[in-house]
Amino acid sequence: MPKPRISIVMPTLNTARFVQDALESIARQSFNGWELIVMDGGSTDGTLDLIERFDHPNIRVFSEPDEGSFHAITKGFERARGDYFTTLCGSDGYIDSDWLQLCVDALDSDSEVSLVWGVPALCAEDGSIGGPHPAFAQFLKRRTIVSELFCTLDWKHRSWIPKRINRWLLRWLGADDIQKENWLFFWLDTGLWFPDLNMCYRRLVYEQCTPPYRLGSYADECMSFYFNFNRQGFLPLCISRIANFGRTHVGQVGAVRAAEMNKIIAEYHNSVQNYSKELRKGKITHLFRDGASEVIGQYSCKPE
């Protein structure tokens, strides 16, 4: 096949109950310039047979032992040939059939944007799809008078707003209010990360923001990626649509490793808060970067 524009890496391990839905959601995409790299960790439930029967020319399958989904994704990225990169678990899928086209168009048309993301929907184990994920539902809203007034305040002056009121006001912000440079300030106030199964980013950004996988660590470096992406000043773009569904099911990583993941998330939020304090005190200057990692602007709380 010709060189793909976008590479999708799919880690799988015994997801025969769900993988057909995931594959069909990719095949329904209106954009055809994709490749799917399935990184199977050694399934024994027929997952590989289902994928092989799907028989699509854009799919490459590798089955070998791994140390978890992040290890599998790292190995998949090394095999990826696309300009842009995304992941999708074998138990999840796309809802918007134009999603990949929207991602490619957004990244092609704006060299300042390094990552594109959308709103995920909730999905039960039986496949019934519910509403948007509550952490991201507000980004389906458009700009309001309240959000416009709130955004006129410089971030360094928001420290005067009581935290409870500030949190209430942040709920009024929609996708229009947090694009590109404005995302930084929303992130500093909330620590919110991007939905990992619909975000699409440039290869350079993945390489620069993702720590190398260390064999034997069994690490999941997603939170490190989120922090590094924002700390290094790369710019995201939210497409205000429901892009995909994330399925809740027995045995998923978030449930099996709940205590470990909670610790990682707590450390992540602590890092965001520390960076926020340093920036607000004027100890550092935040640099904004384009998709080629070139500095295109800055923000500082230092006195003029």
Residue 30 is classified by DSSP as: S
132, 242 Cβ separation under 8 angstroms: yes
**SS3 readout for 164-206:** HHHHHHHCCCCHHHCCCHHHHHHHHHHCCCCCCCCCEEEHHHH
The three-class DSSP label of residue 218 is coil
Q: How far is CA 132 from CA 8, 90, 121, 138, 253, in A?
A: 22, 20, 4, 9, 21
CB atoms within 10 A of CB 246: 20
Q: Which of 43, 30, 41, 32 is nearest to 6 (CA)?
A: 32
Tokens representing residue 76 in the block:
């998949």
pLDDT at 252: 62
Look at the domain 6-292 and name its fold: Spore Coat Polysaccharide Biosynthesis Protein SpsA; Chain A (3.90.550)
pLDDT at 303: 67
Give the integer Cα–Cα distance in Å for 186 and 188: 6
pLDDT at 249: 77
First CA to last CA distance, the chain? 55
Structure pTM?
A: 0.93
The 3-state DSSP composition of the chain as helix, strand, coil percent (nearest 5) reads: 40, 20, 40
238: which residues sit within 8 A by CB, 6+ positions away? 116, 117, 118, 139, 175, 178, 179, 183
Q: Which residues pair with 8 in a beta bridge?
A: 36, 86
Give the integer Cα–Cα distance in Å for 291 and 234: 7
Domain-wise residue ranges, the chain? 6-292
Q: Which residues pair with 143 in a beta bridge?
A: none
Give the integer Cα–Cα distance in Å for 53 and 82: 24
Task: Report angle CA 136, 162, 184 to the nearest 5 degrees.
Answer: 45
Give the integer Cα–Cα distance in Å for 197 and 22: 12
Residue pLDDT, tens place only, 57-99 = 999 999 999 988 899 999 999 999 999 999 999 999 999 999 9
59, 50 Cβ separation under 8 angstroms: no
Residue pLDDT, tens place only, 175-188 = 999 999 999 999 99
Give the integer Cα–Cα distance in Å for 197 and 99: 12
Residue-level pLDDT, tens digit, the chain, 304 residues: 689 999 999 999 999 999 999 999 999 999 999 999 999 999 999 999 999 999 899 999 999 999 888 999 999 999 999 999 999 999 999 999 999 999 999 999 999 999 999 999 999 999 899 999 999 999 998 888 888 888 888 998 888 889 889 988 999 999 999 999 999 999 999 999 999 999 999 999 999 999 888 888 777 788 999 999 999 999 999 999 999 999 987 766 655 567 888 899 999 999 999 999 999 999 999 999 999 999 999 999 976 5
Give the integer Cα–Cα distance in Å for 21 and 129: 12
pLDDT at 254: 56
